[in-house]
Structure 1
Amino acid sequence: MGKIICRKNLKRCCVSMLNDLVSDLEQYKKIAIFGYGVEGRSFHAFAEKYLPDVAISIVDKNYADDDNYLDGLREAELIVKSPGISLHTLGIDYDAYNFTSITELFLKHFGSQIIGVTGTKGKSTLVTLIDSMLKNAGRKSLLCGNIGISPLQAIETIDEETTVVMELSSHQLHHVNHSPHIAVLTNLFPEHLDYYEDLADYYEAKFNIFRHQNARDIFIYNLQNPNNYFDTEKAPSKHTYNVFANELKNEVQFNIKNGYIHHATLQILEKLAEILEIDESTFMKTVTTFQTLPHRLEFVDEIDGVSYINDSISTIPQASMEAMKILKNVDTIILGGYDRGVDYSELVNFLRESNVKNIICFSDTGKQIYEKINEEENNKHLFYMHDLRESVKKAGECAREIVLFSPAASSFNSYKNFAERGEEFKSLVNNLKG
């Protein structure tokens, strides 16, 4: 029988769901944490508090004494896998072990209170807006998942009035068998091809956001041609909405210093406001006071009349093209990063037809873009630089209106992540002021 949680600071709903979660886990004598990152450490802290009789082990090459660390998987009855670990890359069959994840466990026990958001781009901005909109409406909201904190870190704060807003990456959704009450799919583009077997495997992971819903749940998505990806008729929920063609009821004016919210994001947010019965004034307050998240069309500085924009989050060509459309007056763009096998033909054609005068490329994909543009006659000032430092220096020499740093590629060949890359860009821009 599961251990009964009785703490005065836990309200009724949390006690019941937390008891169920603990009972679900304490049937195992040995649980392995596979990958000791943010989620792995949060599960370890949870286990120390609620699973005192369960033996917990860590399977992580950074905490192993030898190269045989994967042998620890065979000794566990349950394995809590971190999302950053690609079983495909390791050559491990998912069915070979009894895997689960924090996302799987949380969706199973708290799914009825969750608004889950996934998609190739736009997740972090959208969940931040949803959380702000709920709070502005006087409702209790918890923001967690791929942004901010692991849900286990705040599990004791959840009660029957709490809406849990979760950003869910494809890695977190891969193989889960439960879906949130309200599922949102922002968009779909090729990405993470180094993690999955193929593009279809990546998309299938995303589809778990709605695949395990029931008829009473809600699914919102924003796709121009949804049937190119999945059979919309087979979505379990009877409350399914594609907002792609929706006209916005509220026109919002943005400026370069406060940042922008993509049109597609506003379409989803308006539909959610309608479903959640949030009034127009609260919606408008939420979007007009929103400050752009770091590395997402983030205004850095204006130097000699030139605005510098940090869009390091743009790790795919489509995101960079969208950034240029939003800003309109981009005359200089900096592109390039880690090659994950993404096709850059569409971006190259877009750049050829665009009003962008200076195209500054660096790193692996930057070289590809540089060479592809040079294959045909063009009227661009095209540069291939050694690194980001040299690229920002060149931008300072030739830009007249807007310098957009929107790499259209991952950062993993030179940086820990897009955030580290974005911070270096901001630092290099600040150095231009001398």
Structure 2
Amino acid sequence: MLKNLISDLEQYASIGIFGFGMEGKSFYNFAQKYLPNTELVIIDKNHPSCDENYLDKLDEVELIVKSPGISLYNLGIDYKSYKFSSTTELLLKHFKNQIIGVTGTKGKSTLVTLIDSLLKNAGKKSVLCGNIGTPAFDILENLDDETTIVMELSSHQLYHVNYSVHIAILTNLFEEHLDYYKDVDEYYSAKFNIFLHQKKNDIFIYNLPQKLTRGYNVHENELKYNVDFNLQNGFIHKSTLQILEKLKEILALDDAVYLRTIQEFKTLPHRLEFVKNIKGVSYINDSISTIPQATIEAVKILKNVDTLILGGNDRGVHYDVLIDFLQKSDIDNIILFSDTGKKIYDALHVKEKQKGLFIQNNLQESVKKAYNISRSIVLFSPAASSFNEYKNFIERGDEFKSLVNQLKG
């Protein structure tokens, strides 16, 4: 399969690497080793070799390998105007029969981690890559015909791909990334590419309120968003377990292996992550929650939240469902900051006069406020992205943990 991939790319005398982040650098390293006769052109406004006219380089190459973080819509570039591809599309084209792919608005990272552990516990060869942090081209040299590739796939990675994975899993769909796409339908369509190009021997598992008719090998998961599975080491959503169990049945894996996998699972960083108990108050980091529905689920799982900290970058997502939930909830203190925090504060201030509503300038002030007023659980679950103030949700979550660890016990 690797030989076919190299042969596929050798036909191009020049390849542009559009975006020089993790995936772009991964492809560059691959190409330097396996494509010695190919001219590599980096196209990235932040790269030393580029200037303000860096987009002109798109016209100088035969193939463009685009990084997922680049929004063609925001740049005003028509996808059909150039010969675009991506590391995701190239991997799906040449290794699709070995891939279990997971996409969805939320729950991807937990599920792919569980799937990878399930396969390894069953004695299978498995590698984990994709949006969870390891670029696909970093794992190519570790593959053989017996290796299963478990991929977390974002909408950005799936956008415009013309190939689908062998086993496709769609966890859920909610409004997100509306700063990247023309509208929510375009965002959903990108997600659907994980299964749209499947063949009759492929498998699709999904978890949506509406039916998606494919005609073959489709497994519709029972949708339950308000039930959690509490383990000693963390939380697994019931819908995630249902998908994992269905996959276990499809792959004919042992029940004992399945039980061992979920019992050994530990909550991933920034996903309902316990940080510290200070004076009887537990501080929980849920920075991964970047949409309203994820924050609602976090509150339901923990049950005894008395202080909620939320707010972040405004990407045009609607917050009516969260505002309604907060208005009816038993949460005593709602601390808000940043752009969406101000929006939610204004809406709640009009509707709810009894709750403790606090608007703060930043996360640091929010944590100090929570320290002074909380009695049981402080949940940091922003319900928004972080890009107006932080590099990503990881940096934001790390700052929350650092601020909590500075509080006096």
Spell out, residue by residue over 1:290-329, the C-alpha distance to the aligned partner (whole angstroms, 9 max, x if none). 1111100001011111111000000000000010111111
TM-score normalised by the chain length of structure 1: 0.92
Partners of 1:119 and 1:185 within 8 A in 2: yes
Query: Is the aligned partner of 1:421 residue 2:396?
Result: yes
Query: Is the aligned partner of 1:240 residue 2:215?
Result: no
Query: Is the aligned partner of 1:338 residue 2:313?
Result: yes
Query: Is the aligned partner of 1:30 residue 2:19?
Result: no
Q: Residues of 2 paired with 1:148 and 1:135: CA distance?
A: 19
> Could you tell me how far 1:23 is from its partner in structure 2?
0.8
Number of the residue aligned with 2:278:
303
The letter for the 1-side match of 2:65 is V
Number of the residue aligned with 2:91:
106
Of the three residues 177, 180, 183, the one matched with 1:192 is 177
Number of the residue aligned with 1:143:
128
> Could you tell me how far 1:66 is from its partner in structure 2?
2.1
Q: Residues of 1 paired with 2:296 and 2:318: CA distance?
A: 14
Q: Secondary structure at the match of 1:61?
A: coil
Matches within 5 A, 1:119-268: 119-226=104-211, 232-233=212-213, 235=214, 238-245=216-223, 253-255=230-232, 258-268=233-243
The letter for the 1-side match of 2:231 is F
Q: Residues of 2 paired with 1:150 and 1:160: CA distance?
A: 19
Number of the residue aligned with 1:58:
42
Partners of 2:327 and 2:351 within 8 A in 1: no
Partners of 1:22 and 1:51 within 8 A in 2: yes
What fraction of aligned residue pairs are identical, expressed as a percent? 65
Partners of 1:352 and 1:378 within 8 A in 2: no
Number of the residue aligned with 1:5:
none
Q: Secondary structure at the match of 2:259?
A: helix
Partners of 2:106 and 2:171 within 8 A in 1: yes
Of the three residues 372, 377, 388, the one matched with 2:347 is 372
The letter for the 2-side match of 1:346 is V
> Could you tell me how far 1:281 is from its partner in structure 2?
1.3
Q: How many residues end up aligned between the 2 structures? A: 406
Number of the residue aligned with 1:12:
none
Q: Secondary structure at the match of 1:23?
A: helix
Partners of 1:252 and 1:288 within 8 A in 2: no
Structure 2, unmatched stretches of 5+, are none
Partners of 1:246 and 1:267 within 8 A in 2: no
After superposition, the Cα gap between the structure-2 partners of 1:337 and 1:388, relative to the gap in structure 1 and judged at 3 Å, is same
The letter for the 1-side match of 2:193 is N
Of the three residues 240, 247, 255, the one matched with 1:272 is 247
Q: Residues of 1 paired with 2:68 and 2:372: CA distance?
A: 42
Number of the residue aligned with 1:96:
81
Number of the residue aligned with 2:72:
87
Number of the residue aligned with 1:292:
267
Number of the residue aligned with 2:325:
350
Q: Residues of 1 paired with 2:400 and 2:57: CA distance?
A: 41
Of the three residues 291, 300, 303, the one matched with 1:316 is 291
The letter for the 2-side match of 1:426 is K
> Could you tell me how far 1:274 is from its partner in structure 2?
0.8
TM-score normalised by the chain length of structure 2: 0.97
> Could you tell me how far 1:245 is from its partner in structure 2?
4.5
> Could you tell me how far 1:377 is from its partner in structure 2?
3.7
